[in-house]
Amino acid sequence: MIPYHRELQLTIPSSAVKIIGLGGAGANMLERVALDGTEGAALLAINTDARTLAACVASDKIQLGRNLTKGLGAGGDPELGHQAMLEAEAEIREALRGCRIVFLCVGLGGGTGSGAAPVITRIAREEGAFVVVFATMPFAFEGRRRRDQAETTLNELAVLANALVTFDNNRMGELVLAKQGIHEAFSAADRMICESIKAVIRLVIRPGLINIGLDDLMSALRTNRSRCLFGSGIAKGKDRAASALRNALSSPLLDQGALLKEAQTVLVHLSGGEDLTLYEVELLMQRLQKFVPESAHVLFGAVIDPTMGDNLSVTLISALPEDSLAAAPRDTGGSSSDNSGRDTGDAGVAADNALDERVATSPAAKARRSAAQPAGTGNVALFTHEVLAETPVEVLDEGLAEAPVEAAPEEEPAADPSEMSENSSPFGQPFVFKPVKRAPVAATAPWEKPMPATMADSQDAEGEPSVAGLDAGPAAHTNAADPVTAASPNDPDAPKLKLGVKSQTLQNELAFDATPRGRFEGQTPNVVDGEDLDLPPFLRKKK
Amino acid sequence: MARSSKIHVGLEIGTSKTCIVVGEVKPDTAVKILGIGTTKTAGVRKGEIYDFPQASACLKDALVKAEDSSDVEIGSVYLAVTGSHIQGLNSRGTFRLPEGQSIVAPEHVEEARTIARDIHIPQDHVHLHPIIRKYLLDDLEHKTSPVGLYGKTVEADFHIVHGIGNRIQNSIALVRKALLEVDDIVFSPIATAQMALDQEQRERGALVIDIGGGTTDYALYMEGAIAASGCIPVGGDHITNDIHLVTGLAFSKSEKLKIMEGDASADPARSVGVAKLIDDRGFAEVEVRRSILNEIIRQRLEETLRLVRQRLPEDSVKAIGAGIFLTGGTSLMRGFGELAFEVFGRDIYRPEPPEISGVQASFKDPQYATAIGLIRYAQILETERAAPPGLFGKITRLFWPFGK
């Protein structure tokens, strides 16, 4: 019998998720993240400028270039930033040790951000983390030079990072904040980034009823040089499905959903209390269809989260290629999407490919892709797949192909024991990357994969820190997590499991108290200075 | 006949009533009101149309009445618009004369003007009026264009009124649907001020507050030119609604109670006893303690006035010399003058409800102030247009200074 531990949770321990703010802009984003409060992530500020660093709220701080810049900034010179970075490399490596997922927030164009970001990304990768970079591009008015610096770095990051989300400040300005002050504009931009970081964390950390993981995320973000489309909305009460969607679409990055028209892959993540009904989900998805082209690939995930109460939240994530940079080759890669559900990996894979040029490219990639899909459930370390690919791939693929996404896509295919066992043997060797202790495990791992619980065990055995484990993280967000958590993401029991998990307290939104409003009932509140003018001052002032 | 009398029509689609005033402007610039058509409005809330067909029907009704009473076939109107989306703001454009030129040329003034008008307004907003307030030549104020004078920098000070384009378009569409042309669109408080203030009062500084059914519009004049204008989406309807919410009475009863018994002054002597509405058979239908009723009304109006005060430029209230002019239906509320004095501490002028009815009486009725103001506006615009088109005239024509 395969032991199954119910108490095993799928979360990634907070210690293994790190949000790094690099440079001045990064520090600001980090500040916002800290203000909004993130569950389960450690914050790390890295900067050359000692003063800014001292003012930062992050618990961990690393100063770059102690000897080189002597506590001053990099002065807009990426070369200087790069040198300063190298000086502190050991320190940073130490800080990133053991991280599963690293979010790097950076404003490109300046010295520290542009110079150090690629190095940090590389170090994090080497330490075995899955790296998601949130980069802001400079405003047009900041000049050509900075733009060029930013572009150069962006290109490097595209190669190095697992996923890259780009926010163009110009876009921000024009979409969001035409009438607001610059201070507001920047903080709104930060807020937006913070929101998406949180959404990603939520997505990755929480196991879902219909699961969605980093692999899906990557395929939603697909292109490396892309503009991120992101929207998140929450609503409660009657008609909450519709209003949650409306709120999500009102995100400035989505432009009332108009921008989704061109999206090729859209990730939709639903989170609701225990009373979330199938009907609501259907309704919501139906409405969303109107905004998304028919041909678009919709990655759908849902989570039951008791702390949500009667709230329903929707998160939409997608990416549009910034002009013609749309990665054509990657798209072809996406063709693997033939298997209905999970074309998971392509983006991710692509990114990975890029990442290690050292790894065999094309064939391997293909192999991986196919492999990645079965990986659905995830766990399979992306890298391992290469090896896998050579033999069992086809089998896997077929199995996969049949599995419709909606129906707990991941599990089913994987669950097929026979196939899995076949794979098993190849599986053993594949851990190309630092296989470390993996080899012994391997034997068991393959067929256990279907059974999440065991998977966890196996990983445990491995002493999980190995890269492979890491990479797995992206593929199926959960398993990577850590031994404990690795469970079956799609397991039917998942919701129940979560019940236990969800103890993190989520503060409920304070609603306007539902005072009757007479003839102004149902209209948008007429709010001035925080007071609803439609309510009698006689009643308001008494309180 | 070089100058014949001309007929103008002012149309105000208010929250509580739609009002059309037909006026004849005599060659000697005297205005004679020929007729008024007014009807209760439906489909307008807080100054903005939310039910197009209903509002349209009301407009047609008012139109028929106005044509009947004035015996004039109405083809085009001046339209007053309001709504909380409309705002006024001041903007100054500065132009430094190029090296070697010391005399201000028309194009320099034009440039300063362009700069002043090129303000950052939200994308969906459009300019309603750019009103020139004054020019400055090397920091010295000039009332008129300083073309031909010596100086280094020319500045043009504008008051710019802007609002959401689509909503304004919808108001126009409503009028067009009644087969009327729109001669011009005017922000309500600016039209009201034409009627309420004379030149001297504008010079000394005056504030017009027009409290209507759904909105409170205000326009501040300082030194002969408009200094601030705007709209707060609170009006008489809110008082009725407040009474309804606090006492639980039906709207119709609340409205009646407000009109018959309400008092906005904080005078305790007027808050003694019980306010009653007597029905046809002589029974008291409704009884509400006056202290509560008056308190509800007073708090609402006080808050509204304070909101207006907040939005005025700092220290401008002290500079109001002529006083504050209250108009609009809600300004008929008893005790409102005292309340306004308490809030602003300036002289308060308030129209008295007319004792007699009939067309003449409408002059005095604050409910028609805006529509009649539109006729004045049209008249001034007309004389500006008739001015000989010299170079100077051309410019003033484009930017008619409402300060005049």
Q: Where are the domains of chain A?
A: 14-206, 516-543
Chain B positions with Cβ closer than 8 Å to A = 45-46, 84, 120-123, 232-234, 237-238, 240-242, 244-246, 251, 295-296, 299-300, 302-303, 307
Give the pLDDT confidence score for residue A14 in this predicted structure: 54
Cross-chain residue pair B299–A526, CB shorter than 8 Å: no
Residue-wise pLDDT tens digits, A449-464: 444 444 444 444 444 4
Residue-wise pLDDT tens digits, A408-424: 444 444 444 444 444 44
Distance from CA of B392 to the nearest CA of A (A): 35
DSSP letter for B103, please.
B
Nearest by CB to A539, from B45, B122, B245: name it. B245
Q: What rounded mean pLDDT belongs to chain B?
A: 84
Which residues on B lie below 8 Å from A533 (Cβ)? 232-234, 238, 303
Cross-chain residue pair B232–A528, CB shorter than 8 Å: yes
Give me A155's structure tokens.
């290109």
Give the pLDDT confidence score for residue B304 in this predicted structure: 92
Residue-wise pLDDT tens digits, A46-72: 888 878 788 887 778 888 877 777 777
Which residues on B lie below 8 Å from A539 (Cβ)? 242, 245-246
The ipTM assigned to this model is: 0.71
Give the pLDDT confidence score for residue A375 in this predicted structure: 38
Distance from CA of B397 to the nearest CA of A (A): 31
- Whether the predicted pLDDT of A526 surpasses 80: no
Nearest by CB to B241, from A178, A519, A528: name it. A519
Give every CB contact of residue A47 below 8 A, 6+ residues apart in sequence. Answer: A21, A22, A23, A24, A26, A27, A53, A56, A61, A63, A64, A73, A112
Q: Which residue of A has its CA nearest to B301?
A: A537
Could you tell me which of A37, A300, A351 has the C-alpha nearest to residue A165? Answer: A351
Q: How many CB atoms lie within 10 A of CB B4?
A: 8
Q: Tell me which amino acid residue A213 is.
A: G
Give the pLDDT confidence score for residue A493 in this predicted structure: 42
Q: Is there a contact between B77 and B20 (Cβ–Cβ < 8 Å)?
A: yes
Q: How many CB atoms lie within 10 A of CB A398?
A: 14
Give the pLDDT confidence score for residue A453 in this predicted structure: 42
Give the pLDDT confidence score for residue B62 in this predicted structure: 93
Residue-wise pLDDT tens digits, B226-277: 999 999 999 999 999 999 998 888 888 899 899 888 888 888 888 888 888 8
Mutate to test the interface with A, among B255, B291, B303 (most CBs of A within 10 A): B303
Q: Which residue of B has its CA nearest to A181?
A: B120
Nearest by CB to B299, from A179, A517, A538: name it. A538
**Gap between the Cα atoms of B11 and B76, Å rounded:** 10
- Chain B interface includes A537 (CB < 8 A): yes
Q: How far is CA A222 from CA A166, A316, A338, A369, A447, in A?
A: 12, 14, 16, 13, 30
Mutate to test the interface with B, among A184, A515, A523, A528 (most CBs of B within 10 A): A528
- Whether the predicted pLDDT of B308 surpasses 80: yes
- Whether the predicted pLDDT of A35 surpasses 60: yes
Most confident range, picked from A3-7, A368-372, A422-426, B205-209: B205-209
- Average pLDDT of the residues in A203-219: 71
- Average pLDDT of the residues in B99-119: 85
Distance from CA of B248 to the nearest CA of A (A): 10
Nearest by CB to A536, from B120, B300, B307: name it. B300
B386 pLDDT band, cuts 50/70/90, is low
- Average pLDDT of the residues in A199-207: 71
Mutate to test the interface with A, among B120, B245, B253, B291 (most CBs of A within 10 A): B245
- Whether the predicted pLDDT of A117 surpasses 80: yes
B395 pLDDT band, cuts 50/70/90, is very low
| CB pairs A-B closer than 8 Å | 60
Which residues on A lie below 8 Å from B299 (Cβ)? 536-538, 541
What is the pTM for the complete model shown?
0.56
pLDDT cut 70: percent of chain B above it: 91
CA neighbours within 13 Å on the CB side: how many for B68?
8
A309: left (phi over 0), alpha (psi -120 to 50) or beta: left
Could you tell me which of B115, B155, B108 has the C-alpha nearest to residue B135? Answer: B155
Which residues on B lie below 8 Å from A181 (Cβ)? none
Q: Which fold has domain A14-206?
A: Rossmann fold (3.40.50)
Q: Is there a contact between A334 and A223 (Cβ–Cβ < 8 Å)?
A: no
Q: How open is the CA angle B46-B52-B55, to the nearest 5 degrees?
A: 70
Q: How far is CA A435 from CA A127, A261, A382, A384, B68, in A?
A: 14, 43, 13, 9, 96
Q: What rounded mean pLDDT belongs to chain A?
A: 64
Q: Which of A18-22, A326-330, B149-153, B364-368 has the lowest mean pLDDT?
A: A326-330
- Whether the predicted pLDDT of A328 surpasses 60: no
Give the pLDDT confidence score for residue A510 in this predicted structure: 53
Report phi then psi at B214, rounded to 5: -120, -15
Give the pLDDT confidence score for residue A59 in this predicted structure: 79
pLDDT cut 70: percent of chain A above it: 53
Which residues on A lie below 8 Å from B242 (Cβ)? 518, 536-539
Cross-chain residue pair B244–A519, CB shorter than 8 Å: yes
Q: Is there a contact between A413 and A376 (Cβ–Cβ < 8 Å)?
A: yes
Residue-wise pLDDT tens digits, B68-91: 988 889 999 999 999 888 988 888
A161 pLDDT band, cuts 50/70/90, is confident
What length does chain A have?
Answer: 543
Cross-chain residue pair B296–A536, CB shorter than 8 Å: yes
B187 pLDDT band, cuts 50/70/90, is very high
Q: How far is CA A135 from CA A28, A95, A166, A229, B341, in A?
A: 13, 21, 5, 14, 57
- Average pLDDT of the residues in A242-250: 81
Q: Is there a contact between A489 and A377 (Cβ–Cβ < 8 Å)?
A: yes
Beta bridge partners of residue B225, listed in sequence order: B222
The helix (run of H) or strand (run of E) holding residue B385 is helix B369-386
Cross-chain residue pair A533–B46, CB shorter than 8 Å: no
**Gap between the Cα atoms of B137 and B147, Å rounded:** 10
Give the pLDDT confidence score for residue A301 in this predicted structure: 83
Measured in Å, how far apart are chain A's first and last C-alpha atoms? 64
Which residues on A lie below 8 Å from B238 (Cβ)? 533-534, 536
Which residues on A lie below 8 Å from B122 (Cβ)? 178-179
- Whether the predicted pLDDT of A302 surpasses 50: yes
- Average pLDDT of the residues in B311-318: 87
The residue ranking higher by pLDDT, B173 or A424, is B173
What length does chain B have?
Answer: 404
Q: Is there a contact between A154 and A134 (Cβ–Cβ < 8 Å)?
A: no
Which residues on B lie below 8 Å from A178 (Cβ)? 120, 122-123
Q: For chain B, which domains are there?
A: 87-162 (3.30.1490)
- Whether the predicted pLDDT of A366 surpasses 90: no
Cross-chain residue pair A536–B241, CB shorter than 8 Å: yes
The residue ranking higher by pLDDT, A199 or B47, is B47
Give the pLDDT confidence score for residue B399 in this predicted structure: 52
- Average pLDDT of the residues in B300-307: 92
**Gap between the Cα atoms of A298 and A292, Å rounded:** 9
- Whether the predicted pLDDT of A515 surpasses 80: no
**Gap between the Cα atoms of A150 and A137, Å rounded:** 7
- Whether the predicted pLDDT of A395 surpasses 60: no
Distance from CA of A132 to the nearest CA of B (A): 35
Q: Which residue of B has its CA nearest to A177?
A: B122
- Whether the predicted pLDDT of A496 surpasses 80: no
- Chain B interface includes A519 (CB < 8 A): yes
Q: With helix as H, strand as E and coil as C, how does A346-404 read?
A: HHHHHHHHHHCCCCCCHHHHHHHHHHHHHHCCCCCCHHHHHHHHHCCHHHHHHHHHHCC
Give the pLDDT confidence score for residue A125 in this predicted structure: 85
Which residues on A lie below 8 Å from B245 (Cβ)? 515-518, 535-536, 539
B340 pLDDT band, cuts 50/70/90, is very high
Q: Which of A12-16, A19-23, A261-265 has the lowest mean pLDDT?
A: A12-16
Nearest by CB to B242, from A179, A528, A536: name it. A536
Which residues on B lie below 8 Å from A519 (Cβ)? 237, 240-241, 244, 251
Cross-chain residue pair A178–B251, CB shorter than 8 Å: no
Q: Is there a contact between B240 and B249 (Cβ–Cβ < 8 Å)?
A: no
Coil/strand/helix, residue A527: strand
- Chain B interface includes A179 (CB < 8 A): yes
Give the pLDDT confidence score for residue A173 in this predicted structure: 58
Give every CB contact of residue A512 below 8 A, 6+ residues apart in sequence. Answer: A525, A532
Cross-chain residue pair A526–B233, CB shorter than 8 Å: yes
Which residues on B lie below 8 Å from A520 (Cβ)? 45, 241
Give me B203's structure tokens.
């010079």
- Chain B interface includes A527 (CB < 8 A): no
A88 pLDDT band, cuts 50/70/90, is confident
Give the pLDDT confidence score for residue A335 in this predicted structure: 35
**Gap between the Cα atoms of A74 and A65, Å rounded:** 9
The residue ranking higher by pLDDT, A254 or A120, is A120
Give the pLDDT confidence score for residue B339 in this predicted structure: 92
Distance from CA of B161 to the nearest CA of A (A): 16
Q: Which of A415-429, A524-538, B133-147, B188-202 has the lowest mean pLDDT?
A: A415-429
Nearest by CB to B246, from A520, A526, A539: name it. A539
Give me A168's structure tokens.
């163009």
Give me A386's structure tokens.
């290469």
The residue ranking higher by pLDDT, A394 or A284, is A284
Beta strands in A209-294 (DSSP E): 226-236, 265-272
Environment class of A57 (CB within 10 Å of its CB; exposed 0-12, middle 13-18, buried 19+): middle
Q: Which residue of A has its CA nearest to B252?
A: A519
Which residues on B lie below 8 Å from A522 (Cβ)? none
Cross-chain residue pair B46–A517, CB shorter than 8 Å: no
Cross-chain residue pair B233–A537, CB shorter than 8 Å: no
CA A256 to chain centre: 22
